[in-house]
Amino acid sequence: MILNEGGNVFADATPFDHKDVPAILKTVNTALQGTGITVIPVGSAATPKHGHQSGDMDVLADEAAVMNYFGAKDAKTARKALNDYIAGKGLATAQTGINVHVNVPVGQEHHQVDIMVTANAPQIAKFHTHNIPQGSPYKGVNKQLLMAFLAKDKGYMWSAWQGLFARDGLGKKSDFVTDDLAKIAEILTGKADPNVLGSVESILAALPQQQAADLLARGKADPNWKEVKQESIRVGTNEWFRNMLNRL
C-alpha cells in the first residue's frame, strides 16, 4: 500500500498553506494530550514549504499507543475509539477505510487531517518523509513506486508500511530484512545514505544513467504514477512567481 492523497470528506474543508502546518498539528495533538498518542506528519506536511498548498494533511499515529490507551483488542477497534475520543474533544471527525479524518479549524477556515493508525509509526513516518526539489513534478507516491521496482529487481519486496522483505521462490513476501533507511538505500542503490531515497530525483541521480532512464520509464508507465499539475499552484504565491520566471 502506498500513501496517496485522499479527497475531502468535510464540505467546508479547504486547502491550506504550509505556513499553517504547525497550527493544524497543535490542534490535533492538544486534543490528544494526556493519552500518550502523538500524530506525526508525513508527505508534504513533514517538510512544509511556505507558499505551498495541500488539500489535506496526512499524519500517522502509533498503533500500539492507540491500542494501549483505549484498551483496544485490534487496530479496527482502536481507530473507532480514536475517532470517538477526538470527536468528544469538540472536533468534527469521520472514518473511511483505515483513516480517521479530523476537521481542524484555523482562523475562519477548516482543514482536513487524515490520521492513519499504523504499527511502528515513528519509523514508518521516515518512509513517507520526502525531500522533493523545488519545482519537481514528482510526488511521494512516485518515489515509493521506484523503490518498489528497485526492490523487485534485486529480489526483495518493498513495503512502505513495514520496510524491506526478502522474496520466496514464488516471488512472494518472505523474511523481514530491515526498516533502516540507510541499509535500504544501500541495498537498492548501492549507496548507504538515507537521503538518496528522499525523492525521485535523488534516486535517479544515485543510479547509472541508463538504469535511471529505464527505471523512470517504468515508473511513468505505471497506472499509479502521479505528477504535480503545475496549474494547481495558487496564482500570486512565491512558487507561482518562481515558475513564471523559469519560463522566461
Question: Considering the domain 16-121 in this protein, what is its CATH number?
Answer: 3.30.460.10
pLDDT band at 49 (very low <50, low <70, confident <90, very high): confident
Tell me the percentage of the chain whose pLDDT exceeds 90: 78
Query: Taking the model in full, what pTM does it have?
Result: 0.81
Tell me the percentage of the chain whose pLDDT exceeds 70: 90
Q: What is the mean pLDDT of residues 78-96?
A: 96
Where exactly are the structural domains of the chain?
A: 16-121, 140-221
- Residue 165 has φ and ψ, to the nearest 5°, of -125, 155
pLDDT digits 0-9 by tens, 196-221: 999 999 999 999 999 999 999 999 99
Output the CA angle 49-55-61, nearest 5 degrees: 80
Q: Helices then strands (H, E): number in the chain?
A: 9, 10
